Structure formats: structure tokens, C-alpha cells
């Protein structure tokens, strides 16, 4: 128990790390644009031949929206993470954003020393994050040591701030220029290589199972595991998603099974722990307490909101229900990856709001793959069957308590 407590304390400290929190919050800025791009991608590629023939003359127009959303995910990430880091570390957010973006763009210049548009999409995600971290770290270093150009009193605040940013901007951009231009290091390719083990790990069944075990195991102790680990996992899921979209647009095989949306659509139907099956079991509970809670929780569970179950059932600090809570998504995730590798269900190429209901969500996210919709229905049934024996045990105890209270 003492060792487990130390592990939880260590993981909690990771979750409180301002850099990881900023990455998580900053990457959330990409969500509206991936959804908007996905809407236009759906319109241009809806899998009905009559529609495809009708929309073909307008495909270029629709593609322009896709180009400036998915094609700029790295740049949007630089803006979002730069802003979040500036805000969380008490720096002037706009200055932090501007320096981050310029450093990111400088890191993307090609052999002709002009900006390479190909590096502005999801493949530039890690470069954008590194640019934000570098900007924040150097700016804090400079400000703490008061190594700034001071302006006389009476100078407008905007002008003062611009000169305050001059020294850190010069240091950051000079460093990036030396590495990228003078030494010729491909920063984006280097970071892709550096993070390849993590990317590959989360795209394998063992890696996915380990991530799931950690994320949901933390939830059982009252720590929002998926939220805590999102600063590490989200850049990888987003990068995989961007690669899938690019392959889909070019008519190539979709490379990644695990991409942004996989966790919610296929592994955690009804919320973390795939608790929709539990809610369905509760609706037909013998005890009045669980039956009423199930009826109240069902509408929100359809839209992937399950806090009433996690804290009201509760799942937290409940060793019996912790088993299916962790086991169910692990089973569903493994089975989904296998089915995707067998090409029995499609892979994710479109982004949807995380509240999209089951069956509909997987169908749309895989661009109208019927197999994905059918499998989504199966995941609900599997979730119900895994939770059922565990729930019956606690339902029986609750029913005895209710009888004793009435006696």
C-alpha cells in the first residue's frame, strides 16, 4: 500500500506539471478546427455514389476548407500551447504566442530557406510543442534575471512589452536559426524520430493496454487518469489522426488504428470505463437505489458523460467495480485493433465531438463504415455482459440493505 501510494503521488505530480497541463489545454484549441475540417471532408466524401458524382465539381472548393484546417494543425498547436504556457507561467500570453509561432515557422524552413507548408500540419505537432516549451523556458529565465531592455517611465505599456520580449525572442530565434539553418538539422524529422517509440507504442495492443490500465486505474482512486495523461498521449493521437486524414484524402491505405477519437468511440462508450453497459444493467436493477440512478444516468451516458456513475455509484474506491471498469475498455480496445487490422471495420479519418452517441459516432468517424457502426453496437453488448456479474453482486447487497431499512 505504501508503494502504491508513492506511485499515485508521483503520477499526481506529473498531472500537476504546468508544462503538461499547458500542452493538454493548448492542444484543445485544435479540436474546433478538426471538427470543422471533418464536416467538409464528410460532405466531399460521403459514401454514396450519387452524392459523390453530384459533389465532384465542388470538391476543390470543399478541399480548401480541409487544407486550412488539417493543413495547419501544427501551427494551431503552436498558438494554443504557446498561449496556455504563457498564461500558466504568468507570462504575457500574446508575446509568448508570437515568439512561439515565429520559432516554429523558423524551424520549418526548407532547403531553400522558405517555410515548408508540409510541416505546418499534424506532422509539425511535436515541433510546435517544443517551440512553446523553449519560448516559455527562455522567457522565464530572462525575466527572472531581469535581462530585459528597460524603457523610461511614460512609455506606453505596449511599447514596453515589445522591448521586454526583444531579448528572449532574440535568444530563442538565434538558437533555432543555428540548429536549423546553420547546422542544417531537420528539427521536425529529428523529433518524429525521437518520439517514434512512443507513437509506435500507443499504436500497438500492449502499449494501448498499458495506457488504458494507467489511465483508468488512476480513475478508481479519484484521479482523472485520461485527463492527467492527455498531455503525453494527445499529441501522439492527434499526429496519428492527421496522418490518417492525409492518407484518406490521397486514396491511400489508412495507417493507424489508434488515433484521436479511438479512445472515446470504441473503448469508452458511455464515458471512461465503457460504463454504458453498466448503466443499462442498472436500469433493470432489482434494488431501487441503483435502478433510479441508472434511469437518471442513462441520458447523459448516451453522450459519453458518466460522472454520476463514477462518483455516484461509485466507481471510485470500489474494488469490486474497479475490475470491469478497467477490464472492459482493455477488451474493447484490443478487439477493435484486431478488427481494424483484419479490415473488418474502418479506421478513424474524421473528427467528431466527444459527446457524439455510440453507433453514430463510429459510423461517421470512419466515413460511413457500416462495420464500425455494427461493432459499436457490439461494444455496448460486450460492456453490458462484462459488467453484469459484478453489478449483480453489488445489486444483491444493496437490495438486502433496502429490505433491512424497510423492516
**Angle of CA points 160, 131, 158, to nearest 5°:** 15
Instruction: Quote the CA–CA distance of 243 and 167 in Å, as a whole number.
Output: 37
Q: What is the mean pLDDT of residues 159-165?
A: 79
Peptide bond into 314 cis (omega under 30): yes
The larger pLDDT score, comparing residue 101 to residue 49, is at: 101
Contact 89, 108 (CB under 8 A): no
Contact 91, 172 (CB under 8 A): no
349-358 pLDDT, tens per residue?
Answer: 999 988 899 9
Give residue 6's pLDDT band: very low, low, confident or very high (50, 70, 90): low
Return the H-helix or E-strand segment holding 360: helix 360-365
Q: What is the mean pLDDT of residues 307-331?
A: 91
Q: Where are the domains of the chain?
A: 21-194, 198-406
For 286, the 3-state DSSP assignment is coil
Percent share of the chain, pLDDT over 90: 56
Instruction: Quote the CA–CA distance of 15 and 17 in Å, as a whole number.
Output: 6
The pTM of this model reads 0.80
Neighbouring C-alpha atoms within 13 Å toward the C-beta of 241: 29
237-280 pLDDT, tens per residue?
Answer: 998 999 999 999 888 999 999 999 999 999 999 999 999 999 99
Question: According to the model, what pLDDT value does residue 374 have?
Answer: 97
What stretches of 120-159 adopt beta strand conformation (E)?
A: none
Q: What is the DSSP letter of 139?
A: H
Which residue, among 295, 299, 275, has the nearest Cα to 284 in the 3D structure? 295
Average pLDDT taken over every residue of the chain: 89
Q: Please identify which residue in the block is written with the cell numbers 479540436.
A: 31
Q: What is the DSSP letter of 252?
A: P
Q: Please identify which residue in the block is written with the cell numbers 482512486.
A: 221
Which residue, among 64, 173, 69, 188, has the nearest Cα to 125 in the 3D structure? 188
Question: According to the model, what pLDDT value does residue 307 have?
Answer: 85
Amino acid at each position: 500500500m505504501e508503494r502504491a501510494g508513492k506511485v499515485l503521488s508521483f503520477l499526481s505530480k506529473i498531472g500537476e506539471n504546468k508544462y503538461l497541463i499547458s500542452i493538454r489545454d493548448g492542444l484543445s484549441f485544435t479540436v474546433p478546427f478538426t471538427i470543422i475540417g471533418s464536416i467538409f471532408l464528410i460532405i466531399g466524401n460521403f459514401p454514396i455514389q450519387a452524392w459523390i458524382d453530384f459533389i465532384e465539381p465542388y470538391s476543390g472548393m470543399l478541399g480548401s476548407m480541409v487544407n486550412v484546417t488539417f493543413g495547419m494543425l501544427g501551427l494551431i498547436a503552436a498558438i494554443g500551447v504557446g498561449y496556455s504556457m504563457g498564461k500558466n507561467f504568468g507570462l504575457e500570453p500574446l508575446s509568448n504566442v508570437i515568439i512561439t509561432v515565429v520559432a516554429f515557422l523558423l524551424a520549418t524552413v526548407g532547403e531553400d530557406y522558405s517555410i515548408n507548408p508540409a510541416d505546418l500540419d499534424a506532422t509539425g505537432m511535436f515541433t510546435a510543442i517544443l517551440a512553446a516549451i523553449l519560448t516559455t523556458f527562455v522567457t522565464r529565465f530572462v525575466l527572472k534575471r531581469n535581462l530585459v531592455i528597460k524603457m523610461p517611465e511614460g512609455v506606453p505599456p505596449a511599447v514596453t512589452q515589445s522591448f521586454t520580449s526583444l531579448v528572449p525572442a532574440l535568444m530563442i530565434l538565434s538558437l533555432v536559426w543555428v540548429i536549423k539553418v546553420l547546422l542544417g538539422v531537420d528539427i521536425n524529422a529529428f523529433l518524429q524520430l525521437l518520439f517514434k517509440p512512443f507513437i509506435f507504442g500507443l499504436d500497438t495492443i500492449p502499449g494501448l493496454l498499458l495506457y488504458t490500465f494507467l489511465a483508468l486505474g488512476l480513475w478508481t482512486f479519484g484521479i482523472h487518469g485520461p485527463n492527467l495523461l492527455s498531455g503525453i498521449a494527445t499529441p501522439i493521437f492527434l499526429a496519428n489522426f492527421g496522418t490518417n486524414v492525409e492518407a484518406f484524402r490521397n486514396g491511400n491505405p489508412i495507417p493507424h488504428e489508434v488515433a484521436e477519437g479511438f479512445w472515446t468511440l470504441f473503448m469508452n462508450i458511455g464515458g471512461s470505463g465503457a460504463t454504458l453497459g453498466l448503466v443499462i444493467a442498472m436500469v433493470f436493477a432489482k434494488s431501487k437505489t441503483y435502478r433510479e440512478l441508472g434511469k437518471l444516468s442513462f441520458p447523459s451516458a448516451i453522450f459519453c458523460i458518466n460522472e454520476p456513475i463514477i462518483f455516484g455509484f461509485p466507481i471510485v474506491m470500489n474494488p469490486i467495480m474497479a475490475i470491469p471498469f478497467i477490464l472492459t475498455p482493455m477488451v474493447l480496445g484490443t478487439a477493435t485493433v484486431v478488427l481494424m487490422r483484419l479490415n473488418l471495420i474502418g479506421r478513424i479519418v474524421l473528427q467528431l465531438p466527444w459527446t457524439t452517441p455510440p453507433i453514430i459516432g463510429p459510423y461517421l468517424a470512419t466515413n460511413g463504415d457500416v462495420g464500425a457502426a455494427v461493432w459499436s453496437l457490439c461494444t455496448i453488448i460486450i460492456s453490458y455482459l462484462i459488467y453484469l456479474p459484478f453489478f449483480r453482486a453489488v445489486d444483491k447487497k444493496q437490495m438486502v440493505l433496502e429490505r433491512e431499512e424497510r423492516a
